[in-house]
């Protein structure tokens, strides 16, 4: 009617809402898988179970990519949320980068097979748990941006908290590594991995800051 | 119908066209400018509802304008319309959001002065006071809706996509209501001066209803407004939308609905009668300015946000335009009447 494209507007809206929810679910799930991947690797090295988990992360990453493209297409095709369309798309792209960082970490473990001595295991697992908690808080921030803009600040604050915790854990572990008796090449190799895991938190914090700005822009 | 009558009516149609091009942009400007709605969709809805509003509810404000000055010769009405249309065009060139309402009132007063007819000061004061009241009421309504919308959005926790879809639907409904109110309230500006000297006769449509000469005039005026919407309002709509680009779609909806309610209030015979029936002062049925209503609503929301976003220098410039427009229209009306009477030897007053 009247050349309106929005005869299926509510249908498209529901579909998009679901796709965005699915995307955030994937981000959360990838984190949970990553949380088990590190202890699995540390206990059994790059065995079959570990590789299966890496494949799972890869699958989820592809699925997230597909959703990003579909959301982008629908938002532009149906000219939905014109005022915050670019913000939403940028947000999804940056969240996709977090999934990419998880996947990158998995690949590096799988290819380079770093040899973490037992004395570092607990610290690395704690750092990983903290990173995953940070991304979990980011997921809550994203969900609140879409549904409950007033909670964005509270959730974003949690992301900042975990990022700071992560920095502390990273520094402590890096110091421990360089204080050890390992050779310099091995120390640097291990530091590279610890740094890459910590990098996920930095990205999560940047995104949480972005979301806070988007939320201010969206306030009526 | 004589060719001269058609030529004189063209003056009104020109004013109708400029109303469609400028004032209609106030109704859908924010929706189209923020790309929440396509121009074509907006133009079609706007045209249909402007015509309906004009025919169904256009009488009240026309009577008031008639009382201000009963122009009794077609060349006189032509002069008033052309003067109003040109002065609106002139002010629009300066980028000031003015309305045909102020222009036609100024032009009628110009006719009164030129012909030596007395101006009904009581009606004039009523009209002028509504021009002060209109932006204030629009601002208050916008504030009320803003607080309500904020509470609703925070408590309902709607997904932004769902909110976007609802806002879009609400903008269509508010825009249709706004266009109806614009037609009802502002048709008097376009065709009011022609009503006492209408060249049409009543048509009995299959004994079902009588299509009065006044309604025929209003239909014609409505069509002129619709043509203005289709041919020239696109650019103005985008300007209105971009000027108000800081507004969210929800705020845009609040502006449109507040504007529409104000225009409807000042055009509704029903509401006026109801208020009288319960011993409340009735609302005068006066053509008010849609631009004033929009600016009032925008400032209302701006004040609620702390007033920092309101550019008072711009608001001052706009207010200055509202004061100067009727004066310019009156002077122009006077000049055109002089030319018509003395150069073309036409009777502008019986």
CATH number at residue A193: 1.20.58.220
The per-residue pLDDT for B212 is 86
H or E element at residue B20: helix B3-33
Chain A CB within 8 Å of residue B165 CB: yes
Chain B: nearest CA to A206, how far in angstroms?
22
Whether A91 is in a domain gets the answer yes
Mean pLDDT of chain A: 91
Whether A28 is in a domain gets the answer yes
Tell me what ipTM this predicted complex has: 0.81
- Indicate if the alpha-carbon torsion angle B22, B27, B30, B33 is positive or negative: negative
H or E element at residue B210: strand B209-211
Whether B159 is in a domain gets the answer yes
Whether B290 is in a domain gets the answer yes
Chain A CB within 8 Å of residue B246 CB: no
Whether B198 is in a domain gets the answer yes
**Residues A20/A146, Cβ–Cβ less than 8 Å:** yes
Do the chains contact at B162 and A13, CB–CB below 8 Å? yes
pLDDT at B115 over 60: yes
Question: Can you read off the two tokens belonging to residue B1?
Answer: 């119908």
Do the chains contact at A2 and B160, CB–CB below 8 Å? no
pLDDT at A4 over 50: no
Return d(Cα B104, Cα B97) in angstroms, integer.
15
Chain B: nearest CA to A156, how far in angstroms?
18
> What is the extent of the structural domain holding B276?
3-342
Whether A38 is in a domain gets the answer yes
The per-residue pLDDT for range B312-347, each reduced to its tens digit, is 777 787 788 888 899 999 999 999 999 998 988 887
Chain A positions in Cβ-Cβ contact with residue B169 (cut-off 8 Å): 6, 9
Do the chains contact at B161 and A150, CB–CB below 8 Å? no
The per-residue pLDDT for A3 is 40
Whether A3 is in a domain gets the answer no
Chain A CB within 8 Å of residue B269 CB: no
> What is the extent of the structural domain holding A188?
10-218
> What global pTM score does this model have?
0.82
Q: How far is CA B329 from its chain centroid?
A: 16
Chain A CB within 8 Å of residue B146 CB: yes
Q: How far is CA A40 from its chain centroid?
A: 20
Question: Can you read off the two tokens belonging to residue A153?
Answer: 């600040």
Do the chains contact at A9 and B168, CB–CB below 8 Å? yes
Cα distances (angstroms) measured from residue A206 to each of A21, A86, A87, A156, B189: 21, 17, 14, 10, 56
- Percent of chain A clearing pLDDT 90 (strictly above): 77
pLDDT at B240 over 70: no
Chain B: nearest CA to A153, how far in angstroms?
14
**Residues A61/A30, Cβ–Cβ less than 8 Å:** yes
- Kindly identify which residue of chain A lies nearest to residue B162, measuring between CA atoms: A13
The per-residue pLDDT for B1 is 57
pLDDT at A160 over 90: yes
pLDDT at A2 over 50: no
Question: Can you read off the two tokens belonging to residue B260?
Answer: 């529409």
The residues, any chain, with a CB within 8 Å of residue B124's CB and separated by 6 or more, are: B68, B105, B109
Residue of A4, A146, A220 lying closest to B150 (CB–CB): A220
First-to-last alpha carbon distance for chain A, in angstroms, is 29
Whether A1 is in a domain gets the answer no
The per-residue pLDDT for range A88-145, each reduced to its tens digit, is 999 999 999 999 999 999 999 999 999 999 999 999 999 999 999 999 999 999 999 9
Do the chains contact at B40 and A3, CB–CB below 8 Å? yes
Whether A2 is in a domain gets the answer no
Whether B347 is in a domain gets the answer no
Do the chains contact at A10 and B165, CB–CB below 8 Å? yes
| B242 band by pLDDT with thresholds 50, 70 and 90 | low
Which one has a higher pLDDT value, A131 or B131?
Answer: A131
Do the chains contact at A2 and B164, CB–CB below 8 Å? no
Question: Can you read off the two tokens belonging to residue A162?
Answer: 């975990």
Looking at the structure of chain B, the number of domains it has is 1
Whether A208 is in a domain gets the answer yes
**Residues B309/B320, Cβ–Cβ less than 8 Å:** no
φ, ψ of residue B205 to 5 degrees: the values are: -90, 100
Do the chains contact at A83 and B161, CB–CB below 8 Å? no
A-B Cβ pairs (cutoff 8 Å, strict): 67
């Amino acid at each position: 009617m009247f050349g309106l494209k929005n005869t299926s507007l509510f249908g498209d809206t529901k579909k998009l809402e679901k796709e965005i929810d699915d995307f955030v679910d994937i981000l959360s799930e990838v984190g949970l898988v990553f949380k088990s991947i590190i202890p699995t690797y540390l206990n059994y090295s790059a065995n079959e179970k570990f590789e299966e988990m890496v494949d799972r992360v890869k699958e989820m990453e592809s699925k997230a990519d597909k959703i990003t493209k579909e959301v982008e297409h629908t938002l532009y095709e149906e000219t939905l949320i014109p005022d915050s369309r670019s913000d939403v798309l940028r947000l999804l792209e940056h969240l996709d980068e977090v999934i990419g960082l998880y996947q990158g970490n998995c690949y590096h473990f799988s290819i380079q097979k770093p040899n973490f001595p037992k004395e570092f295991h607990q610290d690395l697992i704690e750092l990983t748990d903290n990173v995953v908690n940070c991304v979990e808080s980011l997921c809550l921030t994203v969900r609140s941006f879409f549904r409950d803009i007033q909670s964005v600040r509270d959730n974003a604050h949690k992301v900042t908290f975990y990022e700071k915790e992560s920095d502390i854990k990273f520094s402590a572990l890096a110091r421990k590594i360089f204080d050890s008796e390992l050779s310099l090449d091995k120390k640097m190799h291990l530091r590279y991995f610890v740094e890459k895991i910590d990098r996920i938190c930095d990205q999560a914090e940047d995104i949480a800051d972005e979301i806070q700005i988007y939320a201010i822009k969206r306030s009526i | 119908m004589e060719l001269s009558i058609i030529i004189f009516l063209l003056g009104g149609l020109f004013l109708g066209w400029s109303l469609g091009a400028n004032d209609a942009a106030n109704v859908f400007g924010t929706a189209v400018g923020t790309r929440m709605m396509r121009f074509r969709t907006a133009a079609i809805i706007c045209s249909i509802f402007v015509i309906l509003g004009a025919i169904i509810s256009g009488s009240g404000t026309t009577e008031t304008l008639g009382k201000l000055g009963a122009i009794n010769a077609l060349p006189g009405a032509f002069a008033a319309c052309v003067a109003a249309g040109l002065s609106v065009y002139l002010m629009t060139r300066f980028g000031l959001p003015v309305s045909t309402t102020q222009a036609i009132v100024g032009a009628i007063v110009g006719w009164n002065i030129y012909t030596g007819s007395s101006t009904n000061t009581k009606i004039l004061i009523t009209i002028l006071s509504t021009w002060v009241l209109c932006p204030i009421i629009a601002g208050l309504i916008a504030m009320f809706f803003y607080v309500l919308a904020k509470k609703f959005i925070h408590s309902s926790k709607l997904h932004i996509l769902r909110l976007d879809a609802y806002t879009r639907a609400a903008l269509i409904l508010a825009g249709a209501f706004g266009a109806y109110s614009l037609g009802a309230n502002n048709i008097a500006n376009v065709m009011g001066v022609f009503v006492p000297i209408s060249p049409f006769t009543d048509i009995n449509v299959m004994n079902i209803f009588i299509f009065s000469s006044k309604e025929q005039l209003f239909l014609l005026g409505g069509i002129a407004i619709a043509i203005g919407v289709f041919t020239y309002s696109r650019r103005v709509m985008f300007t209105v939308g971009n000027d108000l680009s800081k507004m969210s779609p929800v705020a845009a909806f609040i502006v449109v609905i507040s504007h529409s309610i104000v225009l409807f209030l000042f055009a509704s015979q029903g509401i006026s009668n109801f208020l009288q029936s319960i011993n409340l002062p009735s609302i005068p049925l006066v053509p008010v300015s849609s631009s004033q209503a929009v600016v009032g609503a925008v400032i209302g929301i701006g004040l609620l946000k702390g007033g920092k976003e309101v550019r008072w220098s711009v608001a001052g410039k706009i207010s200055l335009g509202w004061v100067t427009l009727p004066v310019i229209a009156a002077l122009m009306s006077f000049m055109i009447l002089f030319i018509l009477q003395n150069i073309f030897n036409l009777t502008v007053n019986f």
